[in-house]
Every structure is written in structure tokens, then in C-alpha cells.
Amino acid sequence: MAQKMRDGQLEKRSNRLKLPLRTRKYKILDTGVALSYRRTSEDYGTWAVRLVLADGRYTLETLGTADDYADANGQTILSFGQAQAKALKRHKELQQAGGVIKAATTVKEASEHYLEWFRTHSKSIAATETTIKAHILPTFGETPLEDLKAERIKSWHTRLATKAARKRTRKGAAIAHRAKPETDDEKRSRKSTANRILTVFKAMLNKAYEDALVSTNDAWKRVKPFSDVDEPVIRFLKPEEATRLINACPEDFRRLIKAALMTGARYSELAGMKVEDYSPDTKQVFIRPSKSGKGRHVPLTTEGAALFATCTDGKTGDALVFQRSDGAAWGKNYQVRPLLEACKVAKIAPSIGFHELRHTYASFLANAGADLLTISKLLGHADTRITSRHYAHLCDKTLRNAVDKFLPSLTAEPKTKVTPIKRKAA
């Protein structure tokens, strides 16, 4: 049985009362058992024991009231030490009955726990799941969380930055890789990717620590991301390039490209857009909640309103605005090949991805003098930090106009013409 544990926040009642209401704080006592404290009201908190069952499920049993405002009696009102003893006793009872004990949680089990939570609390589940399966589980899958070492995580993080990037392959096909990074920009990009993978790994491990699946977070807390590698390299089209691209597309794909350039919407947002999302009266289109978790209304130009009027004419409200020439929906990654082909025809090299159309929309606004807050709202960013990071340099025109307008001229012109006096000849 584990010895009595110490905890600065839970041991003293004065510290417990500083915890937010209805926030649960865990303290791992032994493998498969953790003590929980939760302030249920302003008047008192409760102790509970969290047990990990043999099949991997969890159970939470109330032990008693905490001695926040009344003296402990060891039965219904418990001190921190008494709550520990009662939790360990309950754990031993179930252990002897064969109902508990589970071995230390592995990284693979922690990933399943994290993804179960992620599905109901966030959006990009597919990308996160792919990252975990491709880059984290092959190295750490069977490692118990308690056995993770900072040095091993650091070594893995460094290797990620030097490995060749994976290519997109069909489902079931062998994994292919690109060439190893050689240029400074390629190396920066790989380090940036390694940082994003590390962020997913640490989020997963922090969730395990928060939910008392591991007793300490020291190993991964000491692993730091590469610095100065996330400077974005933004690609966007000039107006004449955008026109060439539109003209190089077949009719069904042309509508999708024009809509992206006129709304700044992502491919998935346009592919799922319905007729009811377009308002001909206000000349606005509603973009449903996606990555940011919030929907937004985007005003359209006269040309943009005409495009949406054409695409929605004669359709019911629940029909898709944009469809392929055969009437089918634009599915995941259906835009990749048509865009590559259109770039070749339009002589746009290197070719762009669909997301660069979103960057182009923002660049048109910035170069026309729109401020970062306006651009941020139109793009649906959570705040202006993301917008500033990507597009602040494009707003230089606004700064130049301000300088031209407000700074005085420092070159004074003479008010009258002065004629020099000529001396008479002797």
C-alpha cells in the first residue's frame, strides 16, 4: 500500500477554500486509485475516491465531507489524511474482491482517453487522431505514463525535425516520404511541424495528468519546442493571377474558386454550404461554425451576390450551393487535383493549395486598406493575433497613407523669388 501523500493545496483547509467552485482536484495515491476533492458549494467540499477498474473503466465514489468548516470526526467529516486512508481502504477491498486493479496507464490508453474527450470538445478530431497514430504511438504506444522520461521525449522531438515529411497516400497504400529537408526554409518547416506534433502529445499527456491517470507531469513539462520556427510563409495571388486561375477552371470548379476568393471561406465550409445560408436580400452568406467553433456572416460584392444567385437559383433551402458537374457533392480532397491542373494551365508556379485562396482574399482586403479587426471578423478568427501574425505586413499601405497624410514636409519652398544683384563693370 502506498504511504501517506502530501499535497500543499489539499492538505490545508485554507488552501482548499481558494480552489474554484465545482472544480475537481485529484491526488494520485497508488496505481489505479486517486483521491478527489471538489468544492460543491461555498459552505463545504467533498472527498471522493476514483478507482480504475480491471476493464479500463473508472468509478468515482464519495467518501465524505471535507473538514473545511467543521472539525473532522473520521466518519462523515474527513481531514486530508483520513480521506486518503479511507480511499486506500476502499481500493484494497475491491482489489481483494478482484474488481480492481489495473496496470499503469500506457500512452496508447491515454491517447484513447484523450480522443474520447476531444470528440466532444473540439473540431479537428481527424487531424489530431492522424497525428497521434502516425507520430506518437509508434514510438511511445506501450510505454507506461509513469515511465516517460524527458530525455526520451526530447530525442524523439529532435528526430521528428530531421525526418522527411510524409506524402499524402491513398488509404491502405504504403507510406511514402518526400526528400529530407535540405534548405533553411525546409528545415524551419520541419521544426515547425515537430512543434505541432509535440503540442498534441503534451495536450494528451496533460489531460491524463488532469484526470489522475499519472502522478506527475514533470517529464514532458521539461521538453520545450524549437524557438523562432513558426514564422508563417504566406502565399497569395495577385489579382491578375487570380483571374487567370478562374479562367483555367472547368465550370463547376470555377464557381468554387470564385466563391473562395469572394468570401475567404475554407474548402470544407464551401463544400457544406447550403442554399439557405445565402441571403439575397442582404447580399450576405452565412458560413456555418467550423474550425473556430463560431459561424459568421460575410457580405458579398455585387459580383459575389450574382455568383451565389446563379448557384442557388431553383434549389431548395437544404440543397448544396456548390455541386460537381455530375450533381455530386464536393467531397474531402476532391479539390486537390483540379486545382493542380488549373495552376498548370494558368501558369501559376509553384502551384497553390485551396487555403491560399483564403490568404488571397485577406490580402485583397489588406492592400485595399482594411484594418486587422475587419479582416479577422471576415475570416472568422478567434482573435486578431492570428490575423496579425499572417497579414500585418500587408497592412503597410494603411501605415504609408497615415505617414503621407500626417507628417509635414520638411523641405521649405521660398515664398518669393530672389534675384541676385549684378555688379557693374568697372
Residue 300 has pLDDT above 80, yes or no: yes
Rounded CA gap, 155 and 150, in Å? 9
Q: What is the pLDDT of residues 37-46, one digit of tens each?
A: 988 877 788 9
Give residue 174's pLDDT band: very low, low, confident or very high (50, 70, 90). low
Rounded CA gap, 296 and 36, in Å? 41
Question: Which range (52-56, 208-212, 317-321) has the least confidence?
Answer: 52-56
Alpha helices in 148-238 (DSSP H): 150-162, 184-210, 218-221
Residues 6+ apart with CB under 8 A from 119: 125
| pLDDT for 245 | 97
Among 256, 235, 270, which residue's Cα sits nearest to residue 352? 235
Question: Which range (189-203, 343-357, 376-390) has the least confidence?
Answer: 376-390
Give me the phi and psi of 286, to 5 degrees please.
-95, 125
Q: Which residues pair with 48 in a beta bridge?
A: 36, 62
- The answer to whether the CB of 348 falls within 8 A of the CB of 245 is yes
**Average pLDDT value for the chain:** 85
Cα–Cα distances (Å) from 360 to 146, 176, 289, 298, 357, in that order, read 47, 31, 21, 16, 5
Widest distance between CA atoms in the chain? 132
- The answer to whether the CB of 374 falls within 8 A of the CB of 275 is no
Name the pairing type of β-strands 58-66 and 77-78.
parallel
Rounded CA gap, 110 and 117, in Å? 11
Residue 343 has pLDDT above 80, yes or no: yes
Cell of 391: 497579414
| pLDDT for 104 | 66
Of the two residues 72 and 167, the one the predictor is more confident about is 72
| pLDDT for 48 | 92
| pLDDT for 1 | 44
Among 178, 139, 138, which residue's Cα sits nearest to residue 155? 139
Give residue 278's pLDDT band: very low, low, confident or very high (50, 70, 90). very high
| pLDDT for 279 | 95
Cell of 233: 510563409
Residue 314 has pLDDT above 90, yes or no: yes
Q: Which residues pair with 320 in a beta bridge?
A: 274
- The answer to whether the CB of 178 falls within 8 A of the CB of 164 is yes
How many C-alpha atoms does 105 have within 13 Å on its Cβ side?
30
Is-above-0.85 flag for pTM? no
Axis-axis angle for helices 107-121, 184-210 (nearest 10): 90
Residue 15 has pLDDT above 90, yes or no: no
Give residue 318's pLDDT band: very low, low, confident or very high (50, 70, 90). very high
Cell of 96: 481483494
Give me the phi and psi of 234, to 5 degrees please.
-95, 130
Question: Which range (99-103, 225-229, 278-282) has the least confidence?
Answer: 99-103
